């Protein structure tokens, strides 16, 4: 079995660096005993340098967004090169919360290309707002993938990770629960679309993670029955205990 990838998206939490350090130090205690699981934490970018410290360890770090330009008059933005300077190795792009505030496919595509060029691994989030019984939502997934991945250089595809996150299953206001079978069906579809955008062989190797209210109760079902290559975890990644349980589950899989 290949290594599972478990990524924590902290969003705009917690509100103090002290609390951020406490959560990371709790998570690191669990990570110390892991051999087969890749662990990535994506805190607010302001905490990154402090949390990463001088020596990169087994717990890897990433950001929740990045701009596409290298430098210049772009008030409030951070470039991929700046992000790399902090020691971050990953970046989440196209998260539904950013799409909801107006981020469109063309912008996500620019960000992906710039982030990959700088050597960052990209976690591209895709997911429909609504699930319809006729499968029309698959068109939404297909369009999101095609727009985001236009002209991605084939040599950089090994820096790509997809997180399938049905929007209706995310967060405390989730209106439904995705099933492992639902995830598997959509992951197969995503791979099919990928094989039309990038070459077929590469499409088979892109990790596809599940995200949307993932926790210690459902982690195993998505990873085993659903066949997910990992999880993108929101709320549960802000608790060292809850996230640690998810990590131990991922590690225990044969």
Question: By rule CB under 6 A, what string of x and - marks binding of each residue 2-41 to ligand PEP?
Answer: -------x--------------------------------
175, 129 contact by CB (below 8 A): no
Q: What are the residues facing 42 on neighbouring strands? A: 9
Helix axes 240-252, 17-31, angle to 10 degrees: 20
Q: Is 186 in the site for ligand PEP (CB under 6 A)?
A: no
CA gap 107, 95 in Å, rounded: 12
Phi and psi at residue 123, to the nearest 5°: -105, 100
Nearer to ligand PEP, 87 or 171 (CB): 171
Smallest gap from Cβ 67 to ligand PEP, in A, equals 20
**Quick one: which of 126, 129, 152, 131 has its CA closest to 141?**
126
CA gap 190, 210 in Å, rounded: 12
Smallest gap from Cβ 253 to ligand PEP, in A, equals 20
CA gap 95, 97 in Å, rounded: 5
8, 237 contact by CB (below 8 A): yes
Q: Is 171 in the site for ligand PEP (CB under 6 A)?
A: yes
Nearer to ligand PEP, 67 or 210 (CB): 210
**Annotated active-site positions, please?**
95, 165
Nearer to ligand PEP, 41 or 233 (CB): 233
Pick the binder of ligand PEP from 65, 128, 165, 251 (CB under 6 A): 165
Smallest gap from Cβ 11 to ligand PEP, in A, equals 7
Q: Is 212 in the site for ligand PEP (CB under 6 A)?
A: yes
Pick the binder of ligand PEP from 94, 211, 226, 244 (CB under 6 A): 211
Question: By rule CB under 6 A, what string of x and - marks binding of each residue 218-247 to ligand PEP?
Answer: --------------xxxx------------
Nearer to ligand PEP, 160 or 198 (CB): 160
Q: Give DSSP secondary structure letters for 236-253.
A: GGG-HHHHHHHHHHHHH-
For residues 15-47, one letter each, b for 16 or more C-beta atoms within 10 angstroms of the residue's C-beta and e for the rest, the string is eeeeebbebbeebbebbeebeebbbbbbbbbeb
Site of interaction with ligand PEP (CB under 6 A): 9, 165, 170-171, 211-214, 232-235
């Amino acid at each position: 079995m290949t290594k599972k990838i478990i990524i924590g998206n902290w969003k705009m939490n917690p509100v103090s660096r002290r609390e951020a350090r406490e959560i990371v130090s709790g998570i690191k205690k669990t990570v110390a005993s892991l051999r087969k699981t890749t662990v990535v934490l994506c805190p607010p970018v302001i905490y990154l340098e402090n949390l990463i410290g001088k020596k990169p360890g087994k717990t890897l770090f990433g950001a929740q967004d990045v701009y596409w330009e290298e430098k210049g008059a772009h008030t409030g933005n951070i470039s991929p090169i700046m992000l790399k300077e902090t020691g971050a190795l990953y970046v989440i792009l196209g998260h539904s919360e950013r799409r909801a505030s107006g981020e469109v496919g063309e912008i996500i595509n620019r960000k992906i290309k710039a982030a990959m060029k700088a050597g960052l691994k990209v976690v591209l989030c895709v997911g429909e707002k609504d699930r319809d019984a006729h499968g029309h939502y698959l068109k939404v997934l297909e369009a999101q993938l095609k727009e985001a991945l236009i002209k991605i250089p084939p040599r950089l595809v090994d820096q790509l990770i997809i997180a399938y996150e049905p929007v209706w299953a995310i967060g405390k206001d989730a209106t439904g629960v995705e099933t492992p079978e639902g995830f598997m069906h959509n992951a197969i579809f995503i791979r099919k679309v990928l094989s039309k955008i990038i070459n077929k062989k590469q499409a088979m190797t892109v990790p596809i993670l599940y995200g949307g209210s993932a926790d210690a109760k459902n982690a195993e079902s998505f990873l085993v029955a659903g066949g997910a290559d990992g999880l993108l975890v929101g709320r549960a990644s802000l608790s060292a205990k809850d996230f640690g349980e998810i990590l131990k589950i991922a590690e225990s899989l044969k």
